[in-house]
Amino acid sequence: MSPPRQSNFRGRRALILHRANGDTGRLARQLERLGMIVECAWPDFPAGGEFADVVLFDADNGHPGMWPWAEGEAPVPLIALFGSELPSRLEWALDQGISAHISKPIRSSGVFSALVVAFANFAAAAEAAARLARLEARLAARPLVLHTLVALMTKCGLTEEEAFACLRRAAMNERLTIEDFCARLDEFRLAALTRRLMPVAGQGGRK
Amino acid sequence: MREEIAIGLLYSVTGTYGMIGRDVLDGAMLALAENAAKDACPVRFRPVLRNPGGNIEAYLSMGADLMARDGCRHVLGTITSIARKEIIPLVEKHDALLWYVLPYEGFEACENVIYTGAAPNQHIVPLFEHMLAQYGSAVCLTGSNYVWGWEVNRIARELVNAVGGQVLGERYLPFDDTDTARLIDEIERKRPDFVLNNLVGTSSYAFVRAYHALGQRNPDFAPEVRPVVSCNLTECELPAIGAEAARGHLCSAIFFENADSDESRAFRRKVTRAYGAERRLSAYLVAGYEAVRMLERTIVQTGSSEIDIVRRALYAQEFSTAAGPLRISAETNHASLTPHLGRINGHLSIDIIEKAAAPIPADPWLVNFDTSEFARNVHRRRGGGRQLRAVR
């Protein structure tokens, strides 16, 4: 079973970017019922708004340049408030990187589920992005790992498997990934490592 | 000529949970009869009754009839959360007010619903605070296969985890399923400290009877050792279980008939006059009765049955009810209620063993619930300290 997702929003700050009307009143009331601190602003992004924990914005009238961050790089979950369902507006909202949406007119039901979904999607996307960054870094370090592997094989007379096992053990001893370990190996350290491995390789060779 | 106000009563008095519907309806009808007998009262109700018989499709068509054809702006109705969720869009469409008077699983606050039944912080939380301290924290969860059981069991799991306990099993039965053999078998194997029963109606009665049979066969499962606890089992259903089989198990409710107050004694006298001395009182009977009385009093005060006016007047006062003082919160449309904990005795009645010192506001999203504070309370009780006032 996956760990429980966030469903308590007490003390969280919500920023509503929407012209004040009945919808924003109902929305603010519902968010306050959930224990949230609510700020409403329109049309300008308010000072300090970037410290909100979630931003709910008018997707019908939102426009380029409304954020203090680059488009699609919101540091918090975004929830689109849709009235119109025009493909151009949906497209624009998706480009902002929304984590959930609520349809207007806003009712008492639907706000809580949108929040839970938005926080969960945002967390999942952040986790996926971090994972992707890790994998890309490993991919980038591939030539370096190969270089070290070949150096160990040639200087110590190891097979590919033996060289890799040595490398993994050495990286683990220093609590590093193999890629990070290889990145830190200059010629001097590599020489030290090969010296340490020589007797092992020698024993292996006598058998 | 007094103003006549149509009031819809949408309760299943037949079907798997018909006993509950019958009790709520009888309570409402008692208050309506009182209203009709009051010549001086400027408000007269015209009750319109519908019985969906526990059939989910019927709720929608009958609810539509009540609001569109019979002109009911106030509807008391629905027992289960499936039925309530089914008709809420309809109630919103007609801008009517639904009076929902049963305990439920929370996570809802519709502008067009007044909730006078207990929310989780008023039923499962105080019940588990007692149980986890007094009986232990290895628990089996069971329920009917729909939102009530699913959500209350999820909350129960959170409470058990908060004190480092363990959920040994979680099992569901379809509505009206009385084949409890696998459930009983699993409980016997896993030997929980207690069992949370979120089954509804006939399934629940069959389960408690089967658990009694288990206890007779194996004294390790006597109610004194490993009780069954419920948040939705009241006096009105005990005859369907049987005095001996029901004895010793525990329930949470906002009222038990052995409540010792002037208001509850006055209610007892009225029920005796209307339905006879044998009639059991229950939280459901009280709920139907008090909802009609609150509506009557509010309409008399404001001179209007417009739901916006009624709603605002509801928020502004405290009601004295058979279950104690009650207020409706303007933030949540939910009632503040006094959680009671009772043990079923051998005479188809429930003895109160604990009672909150004062009414507790509903917290439908458990916004103010704090797991570590809950764990501390359980811990304190294990040490002998008492959070709730012990009764008798």
Q: Which of A174-183, B92-101, B225-234 has the lowest mean pLDDT?
A: A174-183
- Which among A9, A10, A108 has the least Cβ separation from residue B109? A108
Whether residue A1 has pLDDT greater than 90: no
CB within 8 Å: A35 and B367: yes
CA B185 to chain centre: 29
CB within 8 Å: A33 and B108: no
Q: Which helix (H) or strand (E) holds B258?
A: none
Whether residue A203 has pLDDT greater than 70: no
- Give the per-residue pLDDT at A39: 97
Cα(A111)–Cα(A98) distance, rounded to whole angstroms? 15
Domain ranges for chain B: 3-118+259-327, 121-255+339-390
Whole-number mean pLDDT of chain A? 89
- Give the per-residue pLDDT at A112: 96
pLDDT band at B164 (very low <50, low <70, confident <90, very high): very high
- Answer for the pair B5, B43: CB distance below 8 angstroms, yes or no: yes
Chain A residue with minimal CA distance to B331? Answer: A33
Q: What is the average pLDDT across A127-154?
A: 91
Please tell me the number of Cα atoms within 13 Å of B291 on its side-chain side: 32
Q: What is the average pLDDT across B259-281?
A: 96
User: Given phi > 0 = left and psi -120 to 50 = alpha, else beta, which region is A83?
Assistant: alpha
Cα(B142)–Cα(B122) distance, rounded to whole angstroms? 20
- CATH fold of B121-255+339-390, please? Rossmann fold (3.40.50)
Question: In chain A, which residues touch B (CB < 8 A)?
Answer: 4, 7-10, 30, 32-35, 107-109, 112
Say whether residue B95 is in contact with chain A using an 8 A CB cutoff: no
Cα(B77)–Cα(B295) distance, rounded to whole angstroms? 14
Identify the CA nearest to A37 among candidates A57, A56, A53, A13.
Answer: A13
Write phi, then psi, for A78 (nearest 5 degrees). -110, 135
Whether residue B392 has pLDDT greater than 80: no
- Give the per-residue pLDDT at B212: 98
CB atoms within 10 A of CB B97: 25
CB within 8 Å: B367 and A8: yes
The one-letter amino acid at A196: R
ipTM of the modeled complex: 0.77
Omega of the bond leading into A105 within 30 degrees of 0 (cis): yes
Whether residue A200 has pLDDT greater than 90: no
Provide the whole-model pTM: 0.86
Q: What is the average pLDDT across A97-125?
A: 95
CATH number of the domain at A13-127, out of 3.40.50.1220, 3.40.50.300, 3.40.50.2300, 1.10.10.10? 3.40.50.2300
pLDDT (tens digit, 9 = 90+) per residue, A44-59?
999 989 899 999 999 9
Chain A residue with minimal CA distance to B108? Answer: A109
The one-letter amino acid at A21: N
Whole-number mean pLDDT of chain B? 95
The one-letter amino acid at B249: H
What value, to the nearest 5°, has the Cα angle with vertex B387 and ends B384 and B388?
Answer: 115
Say whether residue B367 is in contact with chain A using an 8 A CB cutoff: yes
Cα(B82)–Cα(B79) distance, rounded to whole angstroms? 9
Domain ranges for chain A: 13-127, 141-206
Total length of chain B: 392
- Which among A4, A107, A112 has the least Cβ separation from residue B365? A112
Q: Which of residues 325-344 of B touch A (CB under 8 A)?
A: 331-332
Whether residue B273 has pLDDT greater than 60: yes
- Give the per-residue pLDDT at A3: 66
Cα(B208)–Cα(B184) distance, rounded to whole angstroms? 10
pLDDT (tens digit, 9 = 90+) per residue, B44-82?
999 999 999 999 999 999 999 999 999 999 999 999 999
Q: State the alpha helices, DSSP H only, in chain B.
A: 18-37, 56-64, 81-93, 124-134, 147-162, 181-190, 202-217, 238-241, 243-246, 262-275, 283-302, 307-315, 371-382
- Answer for the pair A23, A80: CB distance below 8 angstroms, yes or no: no
- Answer for the pair B175, B192: CB distance below 8 angstroms, yes or no: no
- Which among B110, B366, B369 has the least Cβ separation from residue A108? B110
CB within 8 Å: B88 and A109: yes
Percent of chain B with pLDDT over 90: 95
Which chain A residues touch B369 with a CB distance below 8 Å? 8
- Which among A34, A108, A109 has the least Cβ separation from residue B367? A34
CB within 8 Å: A34 and B92: no
Superfamily of domain B3-118+259-327: Response regulator (3.40.50.2300)
Q: How far apart are the first and last CA of chain B?
A: 50
pLDDT band at B92 (very low <50, low <70, confident <90, very high): very high
Residue with structure tokens 């000529």? B1
- Give the per-residue pLDDT at A50: 86
- Which among B110, B332, B367 has the least Cβ separation from residue A109? B110
Q: What is the average pLDDT across B112-140?
A: 98
More confident of the two residues A108 and B227: B227
pLDDT (tens digit, 9 = 90+) per residue, B324-366?
999 999 999 999 999 999 999 999 999 999 999 999 999 999 9
